[in-house]
Structure formats: structure tokens, C-alpha cells
């Protein structure tokens, strides 16, 4: 299978629907995670304190041509509760990254992240023909590192002094990846967890 570039698409699971991010999601997103320091702590930008701040963050996501951004919609309520994206897309080398992900704190430690990643990984490997999917996080974000490892992704290493945080300090970035030949086993484990 030849890899293809991801396009906006809707992916539906039992708990979440991942759909193209749009300005119509603004109010739901602000209600889910706006003005929450802990939700935005590791995302590399300012906390959206107001609806206008969230509107600016959403507009930046939508304007970034290198991203394919998605809203994560909680199916029980029909409301957007966070966002995620495909980025660092390289079709020639059959790889992409899943990142810029956040969910409202009420949805942490629920099926939301597991199912969102299951949907995105299935699409990346089985529909788009990717051979590698990477995920990365701040070296201080232990909660995210554990969540990524639970997906079945392997720790690859750390890029030291990789990015400046909003407070001016330097972030080391921890990289993980999952390869196409590892995907069937990881997929079975994720499906079991759901």
C-alpha cells in the first residue's frame, strides 16, 4: 500500500467521535478546558483565559497548513471536549505525528484518550498506509508519558533543550513511536482496554 496524505475525516467510536476541527466547536472547547492551567500546562502556549483567547488558539490551529486538526467530541453529550491533530506529515517516508492533544480535565483517566488514539492510529496505519506514527511530550509531563506508553508506543529518546516553554525555560522532548508491524498487537491491547 502506498501512503497517502491525511485529509479531514470523521472517525467514530463508542465513546468519542473525532471530526474536523471547526470554529463551531469554540464554545464547547472553552467550556471543556478554557482557563484551566493544568489542561494547558504542557501545550507550549498561553492558557486561554477568555473565550477570545480560545478563539485565537483555535484560529491558530486551523491556520496551520501543516496540521490536520480534529475536534474530539464526547458522544454521550455531543459536545467537543478537546482537540488533537496529525502533524509532521511525510507521505514519502510513510510517517506522521499525533499531537497537540488536549482534553478537558473531566475526561482524564476515562476511555476518551484510549479511543481517540485507537481511532487515529487505525486510520494512520490501515487507511493512510503509514509505517510510523510518532508522539512526543515534555520530559516533565509524566502523566502524558505514561499514557503514550500505554498505547503500545516505544520510548525512542529525548531531544535535550528542544523547545522554549512559555515561561522562558527549556523543554526536553521525549519521543515515542509505533511502527506498522507493531500496530496489530498494540491495536488488540487498546481494544481490550476499551
Give the pTM.
0.95
Residue with cell 480534529: 70
Answer whether residue 45 shows pLDDT above 90.
no
Residue (of 8, 36, 6) closest to 22 by Cα position:
8
The torsion angles phi and psi of 73, rounded to 5 degrees, stand at: -105, 125
Distance CA 189, CA 5 (A): 27
The tens digit of pLDDT for each residue in 83-129 reads 999 999 999 999 999 999 999 999 999 999 999 999 999 999 999 99
Mean pLDDT of 172-194: 95
Judge: domain 11-193, CATH 3.40.640.10.
Answer: no
pLDDT tens digits for range 126-161? 999 999 999 999 999 999 999 999 999 999 999 999
Amino acid at each position: 500500500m502506498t501512503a497517502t496524505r491525511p485529509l479531514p475525516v470523521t472517525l467514530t467510536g463508542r465513546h468519542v467521535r473525532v471530526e474536523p476541527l471547526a470554529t463551531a466547536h469554540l464554545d464547547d472547547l472553552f467550556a471543556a478546558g478554557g482557563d484551566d492551567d493544568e489542561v494547558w500546562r504542557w501545550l507550549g502556549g498561553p492558557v486561554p483565559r477568555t473565550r477570545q483567547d480560545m478563539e485565537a488558539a483555535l484560529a491558530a490551529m486551523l491556520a496551520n497548513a501543516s496540521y490536520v486538526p480534529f475536534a474530539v467530541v464526547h458522544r454521550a453529550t455531543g459536545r467537543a471536549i478537546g482537540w488533537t491533530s496529525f502533524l509532521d506529515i511525510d507521505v514519502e517516508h510513510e510517517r506522521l505525528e499525533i499531537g497537540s492533544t488536549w482534553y478537558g480535565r473531566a475526561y482524564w483517566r476515562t476511555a476518551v484518550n484510549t479511543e481517540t488514539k485507537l481511532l487515529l492510529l487505525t486510520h494512520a496505519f490501515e487507511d493512510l498506509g503509514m509505517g510510523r506514527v510518532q508522539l512526543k511530550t515534555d520530559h516533565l509531563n509524566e502523566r502524558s508519558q505514561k499514557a503514550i506508553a500505554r498505547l503500545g508506543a516505544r520510548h525512542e529518546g529525548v531531544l535535550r533543550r528542544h523547545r522554549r516553554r512559555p515561561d522562558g525555560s527549556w523543554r526536553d522532548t521525549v519521543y515515542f513511536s509505533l511502527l506498522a508491524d507493531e500496530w496489530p498487537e498494540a491495536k488488540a491491547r487498546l481494544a481490550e482496554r476499551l
